[in-house]
Chain A
Amino acid sequence: MNIVVCIKQVPDTQDVKMDPERGTLIREGVKSIVNPFDLYAIEEGLRIKERMGRGRVVVMTMGPPQAEDALREAIAMGADHGILISDRTFAGADTLATSYTLAKSIEKLGSPWIIICGKQAMDGDTAQVGPELATWLNFPQITYVSKIIDMGDNRIKVERLTDYGYDIVESSLPCVITVNKEINEPRLPSLRGMMKAKKFKAEVWDSSSVEVDRRYIGLDGSPTRVVSIFAPPVKKGGEKYHGEPDELARHIARKLEEIKII
């Protein structure tokens, strides 16, 4: 039974900025990292295996050859196997095409017990691949999972974060869950894991090994298209006051009155 964790390599977004004058991206020194939410997904996959005493943690990513580094990090944490889905024709995929390609890859892998994704990737912040993946597979989905309460071979019970609190959700397995950072504390790589990661070579699947309908992959299978990018308006600091607490409090209260809050 495979505990499948889908991860993404992303640029460390705090480094990506725009030059507002030239309207261009500044990418100097931008490093690639494992999407932070995906670390919680990997950790939860490992915990399921440890708790249940069975299952194989398979980490999957779709991306260019260098995305192997993201898989390597998961192996160092303790994942059993890493698959890199990489092909020229998969490139340029939006969330629909990405989720389709992942779904086909999971079908090829077979025996999914549970599929875990991070809540969202922090480069795009769409939170769409998890639910779209579930839909392609015709599996149920549970987003924003903050706790697995109970899990068996065919059934899972979780706590899901909502806008008003939490829902307790029950679902048959296999299903797709997306996790937020409340769920666990990702472990650091162990020495053994790092040794394993050092020798790790990803299994690479391309368009000849994954059975896909070409209408749904890559750029051509992506219904959305980025037509332009630009810098957001630059926010500048306003007035700044030093002084006695009561005086400072009056500055705030006056402002709150001005903007009709009080």
Chain B
Amino acid sequence: MADQKLIVIVENCTGCGICEGVCPYGAIEVVDGIAVVYENCTFCGICVESCSFEALELVGGEGAEKKEAPTGYSGIMVYGEVLNGKLSRVSLEILGVARRLAEKRKCDVTALLIGNDVKRFAPDLIRYGADRVIVAERNDLDRFVDERYADIFSKVVEQYRPEIVIGGATAVGRALFPRVAAILKTGLTADCTDFDIEEETGLLLQTRPAFGGNIMATIKTEYTRPQMATVRPRVFKPLPPENREGEIIEFHCDGYSPSFYKAVIDVLVTEGENVNLEDADIIVSGGRGVGSKENFKIIFDLAKELNAAVGASRAAVDAGWIPYPHQVGQTGKTVSPKVYIACGISGAIQHQAGMKSSDFIIAINKDPNAPIFDIADLGIVGDLFEVIPELIKEIRKRRGN
């Protein structure tokens, strides 16, 4: 809003500093006992609400036109991601949360499949909560090519006008959704961990972690449609599958001829399944304490025993013991498995940012003061090279073989 201002009413300001603390942008600070507003203020109004002394006021902006959300949008659309010929689990998780939201909003849930030979997944999407499935198949959609998928996706949205569009915050989702949002010029919230419907407005409340998980923020898209969001995998649980009725609609779309060239010319599937950390139920992770590339075998051995994926701390990756796709943490992946077993990982805050939302954390570390123990549900003070072989034996014993 062109001429908006945040005013500090000096006589009311006590310099208590609450506004300074709530500002997500660091745009207000108490200087010499009085709040001072900086240039990076976005007029979000959070400080105004937080002030107990009515010392802050938003003024101006009257010149700006009154905004209203476009009408004619309804329902929730869930993107059904198919990766390497498999329907990704996060799509089913999202159907679960979409059903809950649809009940509140009294609307339908539509799933969208894009690809070549993907119609076969439509019945699964219905069983897990979709009322209808739109299938956009074309023979040039075999591999994920951002621009082609985004072109079709945006055309489906323009035709069916969902109010809310949600997909997984996967490598594909985090490339596709921003492309679609920018085509549609609408709002997108990344990596959400919670949703609700605001009662008075019916708007989608999108909650996500920011600042490496140190802060949670709730975000709204008020004046553009659809309201788009991606969801962190494994945060929600799929509903139990049911035999439900659902409609399957084929969406035909030809005539994609961009002014540029783009193609996936080869696909390298990394050996084994132990690197898809975002989808794993169990992750066994190794850090500096593992000591060498050769020693990582013990981490892989335990992972194999538990049918788990293998993770690593930044220290282990930077030392060249294990490739980057295994890295968990701020500059690696963010994971939330059922069980995370941290072996020889001290647990720096950057590592914690990538794994602390795991359901159950087990830490094995020689150093009883390692920060990982502050967040571990089960802390094991011991040498991983002694404990893990015993653990493998113990697991086999309990399984009875």
Q: Give B48-85 as 1s and 0s: 1 = Cβ < 8 Å from A's Cβ atoms.
A: 00000000000000001000000000000000000110
Segment at the B interface, from A71-79, A120-128, A189-197: A120-128
Q: Which residue of A lies closest to B23 (CB)?
A: A25
Task: State how many angstroms separate the Cβ of B43 from the closest Cβ of chain A.
Answer: 6
Partner of A239, one of B23, B43, B379, B388: B379
Instruction: Tell me which residues across on chain B come within 8 A of A226, comparing CB atoms.
Output: 24, 44, 46, 217-219
Instruction: Tell me which residues across on chain B come within 8 A of A242, comparing CB atoms.
Output: 368, 381-382
CB interface residues, B 8-49, toward A, < 8 Å = 17-18, 20-26, 38-44, 46
B191 within 8 A of A: yes
Instruction: Tell me which residues across on chain A come within 8 A of B189, comparing CB atoms.
Output: 224
Asked whether A225 lies within 8 Å of B175 as measured between CB atoms, the reply is no
Instruction: Tell me which residues across on chain B come within 8 A of A139, comparing CB atoms.
Output: 260
Asked whether B183 lies within 8 Å of A135 as measured between CB atoms, the reply is yes
Known A26-B21, A225-B222, A226-B218; judge A164-B380 contact (CB<8 A).
no
Complex: A94 Cα to B178 Cα, angstroms: 12
Partner of B264, one of A24, A138, A167: A167
Segment at the B interface, from A48-56, A105-113, A174-182: A174-182
A252 within 8 A of B: yes
Task: State how many angstroms separate the Cβ of B71 from the closest Cβ of chain A.
Answer: 16
Instruction: Tell me which residues across on chain B come within 8 A of A88, comparing CB atoms.
Output: 39
Q: Which residue of A lies closest to B330 (CB)?
A: A122
Partner of B143, one of A13, A94, A124, A167: A167
A interface SS class: mixed
CB interface residues, A 180-223, toward B, < 8 Å = 180-182, 214, 216, 219-220, 222-223
Task: State how many angstroms separate the Cβ of B158 from the closest Cβ of chain A.
Answer: 15
CB interface residues, A 223-250, toward B, < 8 Å = 223-232, 235-243, 245-246, 248-250
Instruction: Tell me which residues across on chain A come within 8 A of B264, comparing CB atoms.
Output: 167-170
Asked whether A223 lies within 8 Å of B23 as measured between CB atoms, the reply is no
Q: Which residue of B lies closest to A214 (CB)?
A: B2
B261 within 8 A of A: yes
Q: Which size class do B's interface residues fall under?
A: 35 or more
Asked whether B378 lies within 8 Å of A255 as measured between CB atoms, the reply is yes
Q: Which residue of B lies closest to A99 (CB)?
A: B182
Listed residue (B20, B212, B386) with the most chain A CB atoms within 10 angstroms of its CB: B212
Complex: A165 Cα to B274 Cα, angstroms: 11
Instruction: Tell me which residues across on chain A come within 8 A of B22, comparing CB atoms.
Output: 23-25, 229
Instruction: Tell me which residues across on chain A come within 8 A of B256, comparing CB atoms.
Output: none
Asked whether B21 lies within 8 Å of A253 as measured between CB atoms, the reply is no
A132 within 8 A of B: yes
Instruction: Tell me which residues across on chain B come within 8 A of A146, comparing CB atoms.
Output: 324
Asked whether A164 lies within 8 Å of B276 as measured between CB atoms, the reply is yes
Asked whether B375 lies within 8 Å of A219 as measured between CB atoms, the reply is no
Instruction: Tell me which residues across on chain B come within 8 A of A175, comparing CB atoms.
Output: 260, 262
Complex: A252 Cα to B265 Cα, angstroms: 45
Asked whether A163 lies within 8 Å of B276 as measured between CB atoms, the reply is yes
CB interface residues, B 170-199, toward A, < 8 Å = 170-172, 174-175, 177-179, 181-183, 185-191
Known A11-B26, A27-B20, A135-B182; judge A163-B83 contact (CB<8 A).
yes
A5 within 8 A of B: no
Instruction: Tell me which residues across on chain B come within 8 A of A22, comparing CB atoms.
Output: 18, 21
Segment at the A interface, from B114-122, B159-167, B286-294, B392-400: B392-400
Task: Please list the 9 inter-chain residue pairs (A to B) with the smallest Cβ-Cβ separation, ordered nearest first.
Answer: A24-B21, A92-B42, A223-B187, A135-B182, A249-B390, A240-B379, A165-B270, A131-B178, A245-B386
A selection of 8 A-B contacts at a CB cut-off of 8 Å is: A125-B190, A125-B210, A131-B146, A143-B174, A170-B262, A235-B375, A249-B391, A261-B339
